[in-house]
């Protein structure tokens, strides 16, 4: 999918509404519109990158910052005492449905393993 039609690119450009909870260092974090846990946030790079498989060495710092933002949001949403999950789906069989790499932050209830 092109950047023009990408759901997350449109959110980044403020062409679609989203409940933005944080912005920092080339990242935006929003509440998931179909939450799978009491807290379900998406951490999205503002740069269009289709999937985890498309990351390059140049994205190492960006993705490290995404995880650090996830840690900060986990503290902000009081998830750290009981724990939380961080997930990146890569490809259709893994459950990726939006072709723009993003990190899921889930918590606020017991999460099962294995997840799928």
Catalytic residues: 102
Q: Which helix or strand (DSSP H or E) is residue 42 part of?
A: strand 39-45
For the chain, counts of helices (H) and of strands (E): 2, 5
Q: What is the dihedral of CA 61, 63, 66, 71, to 10 degrees?
A: -90
At residue 42's C-alpha, the angle toward residues 5 and 39, to 5°, is: 140
Give the residue from 82, 18, 25, 7 showing the smallest Cα distance to 106.
Answer: 82
Report d(CA 34, CA 1) in Å as an integer. 21
């Amino acid at each position: 999918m092109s950047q023009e039609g990408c759901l997350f690119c449109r959110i980044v450009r403020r062409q679609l509404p989203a409940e933005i909870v944080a912005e920092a260092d080339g990242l935006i974090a929003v509440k998931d519109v179909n939450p799978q846990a009491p807290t379900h946030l998406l951490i999205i790079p503002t740069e269009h990158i289709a999937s985890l498989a498309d990351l390059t060495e140049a994205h190492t710092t960006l993705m490290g910052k995404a995880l650090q933002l996830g840690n900060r949001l986990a503290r902000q949403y009081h998830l750290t005492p009981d724990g939380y999950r961080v997930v990146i789906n890569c490809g259709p069989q893994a459950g990726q449905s939006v072709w723009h790499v993003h990190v899921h932050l889930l918590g606020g209830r017991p999460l099962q393993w294995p997840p799928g």
